[in-house]
């Protein structure tokens, strides 16, 4: 039997075969089984492993791409989308959304950005007005979603206003997807490493999204898988990598997977 050390724990976190999570007071709060570190010094080993992950991530973030080059990439891509896509698409969507249901054209929701700082995230409104927009995640066949909303979500059209968030410096074109604040708080309670994905600007698309990790997070394994992809992106970010992810995203927009909604 392999001896459990902080090296093993750190390696297993990235491999995904071990879930480093906080044990909930009520085991019924989660809908999937998960593995706890079984050792007399589990808390110490876990903390040391996470500390080493943070130190490693500090080195990744020293990559010069995270400074001017990435911001330059964000501005160029965002300006292109705003000028050549949103300029003609906004009037059409305004009419379609307004004709189907009452409410604002743009849906605004507070989400956690870089270093957990809240910001107002923009989307084309895809739901009917309801009191659970900021607390209840979207689920499959959600009755709150309008017919136009289903179409926009299917092809990720509802996310396009977030290019304005990018121009404002609140988001990046590529990066970990931001969640609504109530979800972020819940995931931070479950996972000891979830906050590491918030050390960079959140993105409109990301490595997790092109690997079919989108939509509802229904179990611990879903959450861990997204965290692994997000941390992997932070380790490997570059101009070429971002360009490839954007191209892959365009492909997935026109040929969406079953989780697109």
Residues 56 and 72 grouped into a single domain: no
**pLDDT bracket for residue 260 (50, 70, 90):** low
Q: 211 in a domain, yes or no?
A: yes
Q: 172 in a domain, yes or no?
A: yes
Residues 128-172: pLDDT tens digits? 999 888 888 888 788 999 999 999 999 999 999 999 999 999 999
Residues 98 and 133 grouped into a single domain: yes
**pLDDT bracket for residue 11 (50, 70, 90):** low
What tokens appear for 182 in the block?
Answer: 């109530």
Residue ending a domain, among 14, 35, 60, is: 60
Task: Count how many domains the chain has.
Answer: 2
Q: 261 in a domain, yes or no?
A: no
CA distance 24 to 188: 12
Residues 114 and 186 grouped into a single domain: yes
Residues 74 and 199 grouped into a single domain: yes
Question: What residues make up the domain containing 126?
Answer: 68-254
CA distance 231 to 125: 30
Residues 234-257: pLDDT tens digits? 999 999 999 999 999 999 999 887
Residues 12 and 141 grouped into a single domain: no
Residues 168-205: pLDDT tens digits? 999 999 999 999 999 999 998 888 889 999 999 999 99
CA distance 162 to 153: 14
Q: 48 in a domain, yes or no?
A: yes
- Tell me the sheet residues that pair with 123: 107
Q: 1 in a domain, yes or no?
A: no
Residues 142 and 104 grouped into a single domain: yes
- This prediction's pTM: 0.83
Which residue in this structure is represented by tokens 């957990």?
116
Q: 18 in a domain, yes or no?
A: yes
Residues 148 and 129 sit within 8 Å (Cβ to Cβ):
no
Residues 256 and 154 sit within 8 Å (Cβ to Cβ):
yes
Residue ending a domain, among 20, 44, 60, is: 60
Residues 200 and 86 grouped into a single domain: yes
Could you give the C-alpha distances from 72 to 39, 170, 197, in angstroms and in order? 47, 14, 21
Residue positions counted in the chain: 261
**pLDDT bracket for residue 42 (50, 70, 90):** low
Residues 78 and 37 grouped into a single domain: no
Residues 213 and 105 grouped into a single domain: yes
Q: 260 in a domain, yes or no?
A: no
Q: 259 in a domain, yes or no?
A: no
Residues 101 and 32 grouped into a single domain: no
Residues 147 and 211 grouped into a single domain: yes
Residues 111 and 170 grouped into a single domain: yes
């Amino acid at each position: 039997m392999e001896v459990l050390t902080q090296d093993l724990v750190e390696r297993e976190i990235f491999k995904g075969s071990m879930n480093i999570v906080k044990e909930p007071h009520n085991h019924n709060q989660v809908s999937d089984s998960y593995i706890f570190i079984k050792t007399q010094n589990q808390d110490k080993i876990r903390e040391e492993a996470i500390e080493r992950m943070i130190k490693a991530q500090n080195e990744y973030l020293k990559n010069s791409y995270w400074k001017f080059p990435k911001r330059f990439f964000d501005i160029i891509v965002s300006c292109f989308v705003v000028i050549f896509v949103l300029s003609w698409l906004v009037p059409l969507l305004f009419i379609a959304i307004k004709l189907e249901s009452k409410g604002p054209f743009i849906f605004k929701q507070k989400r956690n950005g870089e270093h957990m700082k809240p910001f107002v995230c923009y989307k084309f409104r895809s739901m009917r007005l309801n009191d659970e927009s900021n607390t209840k995640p979207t689920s499959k066949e959600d009755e709150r979603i309008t017919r136009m909303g289903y179409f926009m979500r299917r092809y990720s059209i509802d996310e396009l206003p977030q290019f304005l968030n990018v121009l404002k410096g609140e988001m990046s074109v590529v990066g970990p997807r931001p969640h609504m604040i109530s979800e972020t708080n819940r995931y931070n309670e479950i996972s000891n490493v979830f906050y590491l994905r918030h050390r960079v600007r959140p993105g409109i698309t990301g490595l997790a999204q092109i690997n079919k990790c989108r939509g509802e997070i229904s179990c611990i394994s879903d959450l861990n898988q997204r965290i692994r992809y997000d941390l992997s992106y932070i380790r490997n970010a570059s101009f070429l990598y971002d360009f490839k992810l954007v191209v892959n995203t365009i492909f997935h927009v026109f040929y969406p997977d079953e989780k697109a909604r």
